[in-house]
């Protein structure tokens, strides 16, 4: 600051400054120095801010370029996403069409397979029914055959005795006794003597012919007559050689057969009969405790034909084993009348299992 003009005019005559002027000058210098420092600081700050502004301007330019590149990439990505979306929509439509066609094909295949399974089930049911009828016919035929064989054995035995009596009468021999055929040893120990005679043995046999429509067929018989010269040797060994060859030997009844003969229902109820048979079954060997025992138990049923028929159907469906016999008898004792339903469900399950196996094998063969 310039000095005050009034002070210079008032004090111009003297060369000595007052204390106030000196203090004022000192204060002015101090303020001058302070202002100069502030100006330098502001200048340095201005230079710094200018450099920073230049740097920020450069960064802003870089950001602008980056934004432009990002915008370009964004536009490219939008185009690519649009293309992918269109392709996905087209693929999705095609897949939906294929799935719909596959569902229609699968539905038709299931319907055809269901139809085939129903036809197979019907055929199997018819086959099972025919098989059951066939088994009944075979069982009846076996019974009749056994009865016929027993009758033929008795006839052969009577015929052999009569021929021996005739031979003894022709040879003036005492009539022989009826041969004891219970044990082979007793037959081997007996001998007969006599003069020469001729022995005529007449055998009549029957043959069962099985026809296509009639299972039992017709009886065709023939007659055969054989003449043998009888001397002492032949007459002495007649019961040892001729009779065993012409008719069967009856062995002694075994304890197992005696047990089987005891299995009769008589006046017992079904469960009491089962308990009685179970006690006898425990005395049999293991190999006889299933099939033979079940057949003997079934044959011994005689009080109720309906129960016997129901048991036959039950065992045909589940199997001819002793555990199934026990289950049938226990259900009958408890009063549950489930025979027909059990047979139907068991038959259906067996038929379904057979049909399922056939379907699996068919699918495997197709693969």
Any domain includes 16: no
242 and 260 part of one domain: no
Q: Which among 215, 246, 277 is the end of a domain? A: 246
Distance CA 317, CA 135 (A): 13
Residue 4: what pLDDT? 53
Q: What is the pLDDT of residue 187?
A: 38
Count of structural domains, the chain: 2
Which of the four pLDDT bands, split at 50, 70 and 90, describes residue 225?
A: very low
Q: Please indicate, yes or no, whether residues 361 and 277 belong to a single structural domain of this protein.
A: yes
Residue 121 located in a structural domain: no
Does residue 350 lie within any of the structural domains?
yes
Q: Which residue has the higher pLDDT, 253 or 101?
A: 101
**Tokens 């021929």 — which residue?**
163
- Tens of pLDDT, residue by residue over 173-220, are 454 444 444 433 333 333 333 333 344 444 444 434 444 444 344 333
- Does residue 158 lie within any of the structural domains? yes
Which of 58-62, 264-268, 354-358 tops mean pLDDT? 58-62
Candidates 131, 244, 116, 249; CA nearest to 182 is 249
pLDDT higher for 236 or 2? 2
Residue written as token pair 């370029």: 65
230 and 269 housed in the same domain: no
Q: Average pLDDT, whole number, for the chain? A: 73
User: Do 156 and 197 sit in the same domain of this protein?
Assistant: yes
Please report whether residue 346 resides in a domain. Answer: yes
Choose the final residue of a domain: 188, 217, 246: 246
- In this prediction, residues 310-330 reach a mean pLDDT of 89
* Region for residue 120 given its phi and psi (left: phi exceeds 0; alpha: psi -120 to 50; beta: otherwise): alpha
* 77 belongs to a structural domain: no
In a domain, 138, yes or no: no
Where in the sequence is the domain holding 349, given as residue range(s)? Answer: 255-366
- Whether the pLDDT of residue 162 is over 60: the answer is yes
User: What one-character-per-residue DSSP string does 22-68 give?
Assistant: HHHHHHHHHHHHHHHHHHHHHHHHHHHHHHHHHHHHHHHHHHHHHHH
- Which of the residue ranges 123-137, 168-182, 223-237 has the most confident prediction, judged by mean pLDDT? 123-137
147 versus 38: the higher-pLDDT residue is 38
Q: Is 268 left (phi over 0), alpha (psi -120 to 50) or beta?
A: beta
Q: How high is the pLDDT of residue 216?
A: 41
pLDDT of 94 above 80 = yes
109 located within any domain: no
Give 261-273 pLDDT, tens digit per residue.
888 888 888 888 8
Task: Report pLDDT for 10.
Answer: 53
Indicate if 239 and 264 belong to the same structural domain: no
Co-location of 266 and 357 in the same domain: yes
Please give the model's pTM, rounded to 2 decimal places: 0.27
CA gap 106, 359 in Å, rounded:
16
Whether residues 285 and 310 fall in one domain: yes
Residue 27: CA count within 13 A, CB half-sphere: 7
């Amino acid at each position: 600051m310039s000095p005050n003009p009034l002070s210079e005019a008032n004090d111009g005559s003297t060369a000595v400054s007052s204390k106030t002027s000196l203090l004022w000058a000192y204060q002015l210098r101090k303020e001058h120095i302070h202002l100069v420092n502030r100006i330098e600081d502001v200048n340095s700050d201005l230079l710094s801010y200018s450099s920073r502004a230049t740097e920020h301007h450069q960064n802003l330019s870089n950001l602008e370029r980056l934004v432009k590149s990002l915008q370009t990439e964004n536009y490219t990505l939008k185009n690519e996403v649009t293309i992918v979306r269109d392709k996905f929509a087209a693929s999705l439509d095609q897949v939906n069409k294929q799935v719909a066609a596959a569902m229609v094909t699968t539905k038709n295949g299931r319907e055809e397979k269901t139809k085939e399974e129903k036809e197979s089930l019907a055929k199997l049911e018819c086959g099972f029914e025919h098989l059951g009828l066939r088994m009944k016919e075979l069982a009846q035929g076996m019974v009749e055959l056994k009865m016929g064989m027993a009758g033929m054995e008795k006839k052969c035995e009577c015929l052999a005795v009569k021929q021996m009596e005739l031979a003894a009468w022709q040879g003036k021999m005492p009539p022989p006794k009826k041969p004891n055929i219970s044990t082979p040893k007793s037959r081997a120990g007996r001998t007969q003597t006599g003069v020469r005679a001729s022995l005529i043995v007449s055998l009549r046999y029957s043959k069962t012919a099985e026809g296509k429509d009639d299972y039992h067929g017709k009886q065709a018989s023939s007659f055969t007559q054989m003449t043998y010269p009888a001397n002492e040797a032949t007459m002495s060994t007649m019961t040892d050689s001729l009779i065993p060859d012409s008719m069967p030997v009856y062995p002694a009844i075994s304890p197992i057969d005696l047990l089987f003969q005891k299995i009769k229902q008589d006046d017992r109820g079904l469960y009491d009969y089962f308990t009685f048979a179970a006690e006898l079954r425990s005395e049999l060997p293991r190999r006889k405790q299933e099939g033979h025992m079940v057949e003997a138990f079934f044959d011994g049923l005689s009080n109720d034909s309906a129960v016997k028929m129901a048991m036959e159907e039950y065992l045909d469906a589940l199997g001819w084993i002793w555990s199934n016999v026990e289950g049938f008898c226990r259900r009958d004792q408890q009063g549950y009348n489930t025979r027909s339903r059990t047979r139907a469900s068991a038959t259906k399950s067996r038929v379904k299992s057979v049909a399922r196996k056939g379907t699996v094998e068919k699918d495997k063969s197709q693969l």
